[in-house]
Amino acid sequence: MPANPLLLLLATILLAGCGGDKHLPSSNPPEYDPKKAYTTPAVPPSGPATVAKPTEFERLKAQLESLEAGQKPKGEGQKVLFDPNLLPSFKDVTNPCEALARLAPGLGSAKLFAGAGGAALKQALGPDAEGFARRMDAHIAEGLKHSLGSGAADCPISVRPHKSSAQIDWVHPARVVLAHTTSTSPFLLAQTTIPDTSQDDYDVNKPPMRRDNAPAGWVGYKTTDIMTRIGKPPRTEGIYESYEMVIAPKAKQCPHLEGPDLKGIADGTFEWSFVMYRRAMGQAVLYRRHVVATLKGEVDDNAKIKQVDFDVTVTLQHIGTELAPYSQSYGSRGHFTLDHQTSLPQEFKIITVSDFSEAGAQANDAHLIGTLTALVAYFSGQEYYRAQLYWNHPNTCVDIVFNPATKTQRFAPNKSYQVKTELRTKKDQTVVPTKFKEARERPREGNGRVSPREADSQPAAPAMFTYQAPATRVRHSGFRVKAVSRAGVAETKDGEWELAPADYVLEFKSHIVQEPLNLVSGFGMQMSSNGFDAHVQATVPLQHTEDRGWVGEGVMQYATRTKTQAAQCEIRIQGTGTTTFHVNGGSISSDPDPFSVNLTILPGRSGEVAETHCSSGNTPAKLKELFASQGVQGGEAHGVTEAGGWSSAFNVTRFRTFKWTPGKQGYEIGGWTPVRDSDVIAKNTITVNCSIGLQTCREETTLTLRLADEPNATASPPR
């Protein structure tokens, strides 16, 4: 089986079982979870039921936890300088494969059996000690490779026999050997296979690696890789092994300010653990490596990681049925910088180690401490780089704040406005020391004048910008500015200050001409009816509402004169007066891209009257009856009714498009044409053929949208 020396760094071994228990389960046991209690298989009770005893695994684990809790707090032991020659270097590394090649030699089982404690561990593992070491190497190698994701998918970190992924030989793992080759293939892994026993003698369970994302507010992940081996009768019955490796780097998405100097700090954490439990021939061994680190990434005023300080604790432990407990924790402190092109650690330094003796610093564990600390830097560096990309995206972690606020000051020609400007964190609204730069007028340079172009802001001294308005309003008159800080970046729309948006005025003009219907009736009378020439105009101030958009109400004037020709019987439509005109909602986007105006209008009903005049005394009886039904007496008499006119002609051609939404009733008018460099925002001219039957009718309606606060904007109905 392929094992990767580089991957040796990270592996977790777990197994649950009872030493000396002859009743092994026939299928794989559940995954090891330190928070779960595993019990031995139940046997038929021979007497009264008793409380289940702890398993051998639980007993050994509890002893290790007790030893760890009784040790001196980390860092209280003697601190010594760390030999930099024991550290792997990331200098000139350009890809994950090369980085793994630097880490691999110091990971895995290379020092597993060194020293008195290692010799005792080897003796406790018995004849299969070397086989266990190879399986440990393979598990760490694979887990580390997969944790690095797609960037390491093609790294030649493990060479295996040609088998499908479902048939990986976890029983015959390959011994990992690192060999440097060409620059294009930085390293290859060779293997020598030393069989432990027949693969058929074990049930091996290797589920896919589980990957969980970091919690909200963080970048990072947690991967968990497990594997179990259960011996089968007759040759391997009673052998049980489990391995678990966990890798969990993460960093805060947004920096915060810390200390009297208000340093930009991005917190981070890292955890790696490798746990193995083995039970064979009534003997049990529990082995554990655990790395926990707290990190603080200092962010400079250009929103880049300056350096990352780390405080790492490495714990090495083992215990067994006949293996004396061993538990030793070491601390290391130092820092690393990031290469902002490759995201790899640079200038990696361990400054001191603690809880070593002077001689202990040169012992076998020292090299492992250095390599594991390098692992912290490598994996954490990737997440800090991702976090840096996040807070460098404008307006994700900080906001530009203006006083007076944007869109609160009314336009006045050539007036100067002083605007205090600060940068604040989104989470807690802390004022961030910032240098504002690239202040520019908007919507285009030269629209008024903003000064200065750059300015510093401190918590007690905000930057001050002065904006002088142009002589004539241009939509969105104001300025924009950018900010780059130790807490993040802000710019573009969220970095804009502008004068209050203008209110709008809608001017409505409509002209409808309907030619009279002239004919000779079946009774022999000359008739002319329903001809008119109508003019309507209205001015409606508009205001913006949250629920309906732009709304308003104004006075609509109408003036209609008849065009009916002289005849024996005439129906004349005419009249003047006023009514109301409503705008019941809509949107106005006057930016050049995209430009859009859409308003729902509801003109009031015009009040023209229809006058019927019949002058012939020889009106037939049938026609008299018709006139009477309309309230008109035949012969020199006339009648007046409210009917026809502008409203009838305007509505009859649109009634199918009328919106009946409560509160938003009316006709939706889109298709406006923008007008630039003027107090006029947009126009919409509608030409309609309103003819019905034999009558000819023509309509021309013009809607004009103006800025309400411009000198030329009309405040009264147009003449």
Residue 598: predicted pLDDT: 93
State yes or no: pLDDT of 697 exceeds 70: yes
Tokens matching residue 239: 């052998």
Q: Do 690 and 652 meet the contact criterion of CB atoms below 8 Å apart?
A: yes
Are both 477 and 533 inside the same structural domain? no
What confidence tens digit (pLDDT) does each residue in 162-172 have?
333 333 343 33
Query: For the whole prediction, is pTM greater than 0.75?
Result: no
Query: Residue 44's CB: how many other CB atoms inside 10 A?
Result: 4
Are both 470 and 513 inside the same structural domain? no
Element (H, E) at 58: helix 56-70
* Residue 626 placed within a domain: no
Residue 630: predicted pLDDT: 58
Are both 565 and 476 inside the same structural domain? no
Task: Of 71-85, 442-456, 480-494, give the lowest mean pLDDT range.
Answer: 71-85
Q: Which residues of 464-475 are buried (b: 16+ CB within 10 A; e: fewer)?
A: ebebebbebbbb
How far, in Å, CA of 181 to CA of 476, rounded? 63
* Residue 43 placed within a domain: no
Residue 403: predicted pLDDT: 94
Task: Of 112-121, 218-227, 495-504, 609-618, give the lowest mean pLDDT range.
Answer: 609-618
What confidence tens digit (pLDDT) does each residue in 90-99 have?
777 777 777 7
Instruction: Supply angle C-alpha 100, 352, 71, rounded to 5.
Output: 95
CA dihedral 362, 363, 367, 373 (to 10 degrees): -90
* Residue 265 placed within a domain: yes
Average pLDDT of span 499-503: 81
Residue 52: predicted pLDDT: 57
Q: Do 669 and 599 meet the contact criterion of CB atoms below 8 Å apart?
A: yes
Are both 205 and 63 inside the same structural domain? yes
User: Considering the chain, what percentage of its residues have pLDDT values greater than 70?
Assistant: 75
Are both 481 and 409 inside the same structural domain? yes
Average pLDDT of span 404-433: 93
Residue 393: predicted pLDDT: 95
Residue type, 173: P
What range does the domain containing 438 cover? 398-498
* Residue 631 placed within a domain: no
Q: Residue 544: CB partners within 8 Å, gap ≥ 6?
A: 501, 550
State yes or no: pLDDT of 161 exceeds 60: no
**DSSP state, residue 100:** H
Are both 317 and 466 inside the same structural domain? no
Task: Of 54-58, 121-125, 312-316, give the lowest mean pLDDT range.
Answer: 54-58
* Residue 256 placed within a domain: yes
* 160 vs 612, higher pLDDT: 612
Residue 79: predicted pLDDT: 63
User: What average pLDDT is seen over the chain?
Assistant: 78
Q: How confident is the model at residue 616 (pLDDT cuts 50, 70, 90)?
A: low
* 350 vs 462, higher pLDDT: 462
Structural domain count of the chain: 3
Q: How confident is the model at residue 268 (pLDDT cuts 50, 70, 90)?
A: very high
Element (H, E) at 527: strand 526-529
> What are 416's strand-pairing partners?
468
Kindly report the CATH number assigned to the domain that includes residue 467.
Answer: 2.60.40.10
Residue type, 140: I
Residue 619: predicted pLDDT: 64
Residue 449: predicted pLDDT: 96
Query: Residue 66's CB: how many other CB atoms inside 10 A?
Result: 11
The owner of tokens 């990352």 is 308
The beta-strand segments (E) located in 408-462 are 416-425, 434-442, 449-451, 455-457
The beta-strand segments (E) located in 321-433 are 323-338, 345-354, 398-403, 416-425
Q: Do 1 and 163 meet the contact criterion of CB atoms below 8 Å apart?
A: no
Q: How confident is the model at residue 608 (pLDDT cuts 50, 70, 90)?
A: very high
How far, in Å, CA of 575 to CA of 608, rounded? 5
Are both 256 and 186 inside the same structural domain? yes
Category of 406 on φ-ψ map: left (φ > 0), alpha (ψ -120 to 50) or beta: beta
**DSSP state, residue 409:** S
Q: Do 509 and 539 meet the contact criterion of CB atoms below 8 Å apart?
A: no
State yes or no: pLDDT of 81 exceeds 80: no
* Residue 628 placed within a domain: no
Are both 136 and 156 inside the same structural domain? yes
Query: Final residue of a domain: which of 448, 483, 498?
Result: 498
Are both 344 and 484 inside the same structural domain? no
Query: Residue 696's CB: how many other CB atoms inside 10 A?
Result: 15
Are both 220 and 314 inside the same structural domain? yes
Average pLDDT of span 296-304: 96
